[in-house]
Amino acid sequence: MEKILVGLKRVVDYNVRVRVKSDGSGVDTDGVKMSINPFDEIALEEALRIKERGEATEVIVISIATADAQQQLRTGLAMGADRAILVETGDSVDSLTCARALLEIVNRESPKLVLLGKQAIDDDNSQTGQMLAALWDRPQATFASKLELDGDTARVTREVDAGLEIIDVDLPAVITVDLRLNEARYVKLPDIMKAKKKPLDQIPLADLAVADSAAIKETLFEPPAAREKGVIVDDVAGLVSALNDKGLL
C-alpha cells in the first residue's frame, strides 16, 4: 500500500464546556482550546501504526476548514504524518460539501485507504465517510474497532447495536473508526519541532470546483434547558406520589 489519507477536523476540545453565543448565532470559541476531533485522532493513530508495520509508505492528513486548522494539521504531522493538506474555506462546510472536497483530493492523491473518525464531536452527524464512499464508488466499513490488512483486502470489526460484526472490504476503501480501535500516542516536543519543517499545502476550496451550496444551514443555537431541582422524599409512598404527580406512573 502506498498512501493512506486521514481526515482531521478542528473542534472545541472535549474537556471544554461549550457555550452558546448570546445571539444564538453559534458556539462561542473566543479563547477556547481547539483540538483534533478525538475520533479523527484515533484514525490517524491507526494509519501511523499501519505505516510502522511496513504496510504503507505515506500518511497524509487533510482538513477542510479555515486557516486556523493549520494548528491541528501540524499536530497531526507531529504525531507522525508525512505531509498535510488544508482545503481552505472561510466558512464551515456541511457533510456533503466536505465529502465532495475529499473526493477531489482522493482523485489527486489516489490513496489505497481513507481513514476518518466515525463522527465529529461538534455536530455528531456521522455522514462524511459514507458520503465519500458513495461519491467515490468504493466500499466502506464504518464504526471500526479493529482493522486488519491482507494485501488488497481489509477485515474490519464493526461495533453495531447487536454487538460486533466482521466484514471484508476490497481496497481502496473508506473506513471510519471508533474509539475502541486504539489509543492515540502523545506528541513529544522534538516531534513538534520536526513537524514545522514538514510540507503543508494550502488549497482554496474554490480551486477544487466544489459547489459550496450547503443543503443544511444552521440558523439558531440554543443551550440545553436547565435541569430541574431534585426533590427529596421521605419514603416509598412519597416517591410514588411524586412520580404520579409528574405523570410517570
pTM for this structure?
0.86
Structurally, how many domains does the chain consist of?
A: 1
Q: Which three cell numbers stand for residue 162?
A: 447487536
| Distance in angstroms (rounded) separating the CA atoms of residues 198 and 52 | 18
Tens-digit pLDDT profile for residues 191-230:
999 999 999 999 999 898 886 666 777 788 888 888 878 8
Q: Which domain holds residue 201?
A: 3-245
- Beta-carbon count within 10 A of 96 CB: 19
Q: Is 123 exposed, middle or buried (0-12, 13-18, 19+ CB in 10 A)?
A: middle
CATH number where 26 lies = 3.40.50.620
Tens-digit pLDDT profile for residues 27-78:
888 888 889 999 999 999 999 999 999 999 999 999 999 999 999 999 999 9
Cα–Cα distances (Å) from 183 to 45, 58, 59, 127, in that order, read 7, 21, 18, 23
Looking at 119-179, list the stretches that DSSP marks H as alpha helix, in order from N- to C-terminal side.
128-136
Tens-digit pLDDT profile for residues 124-160:
889 999 999 999 999 999 999 999 999 999 999 999 8
pLDDT at site 227:
82
User: Which carries the bigger pLDDT value, residue 130 or residue 92?
Assistant: 130
Residue 183 has pLDDT above 90, yes or no: yes
